[in-house]
Amino acid sequence: MATIKFTFEDKDIPEKIVEGVEEGYSILEVTEDHDIHLNHNCGGVCACSTCHIYINQGEDDIEEISDKEEDFIDRAINPRLESRLACQCVVLSDDAIIEVEIPDQSRIIGHEH
């Protein structure tokens, strides 16, 4: 089972490590299942940029970025090379170790889980 370490741009939020993540789950689904605050307006169908995250480690263990996802990342607040949308980051390997940074959610108007 994969392990995902979540850190936060808002340093007042402590990091969280989620173990036992099954292959085929998206990072957005993991945040919902483990009470990790991440806005998402479109319901996880790659139609907005509110679930924008940074993949700091483990990018080879998630699905590759699509052209559609890249278009929406361009609309996100402070996109970087490691930017992704959590709804599109599906875990591909049971032995993955992935590090995710969640941007400051106070600047994003959106729904949370």
How is domain 2-107 classified at the CATH fold level? Ubiquitin-like (UB roll) (3.10.20)
CA dist., res. 27 & res. 30, Å (int): 5
- How far is CA 92 from each of CA 22, 72, 111, rounded to the nearest angstrom? 9, 22, 27
> pLDDT exceeding 90 applies to what percent of the chain?
81
Strands (E), the chain: 2-8, 16-21, 52-57, 83-85, 97-102
Q: What is the predicted pLDDT for the residue at 42? A: 85
pLDDT at 113 over 80: no
CA–CA gap between residue 87 and residue 52 (Å, rounded)? 9
Where is pLDDT greater, at 111 or 11?
11
pLDDT at residue 93, rounded to an integer: 94
What confidence score (pLDDT) does residue 111 get?
53
pTM recorded for the entire structure? 0.91
CA distance 62 to 56: 12
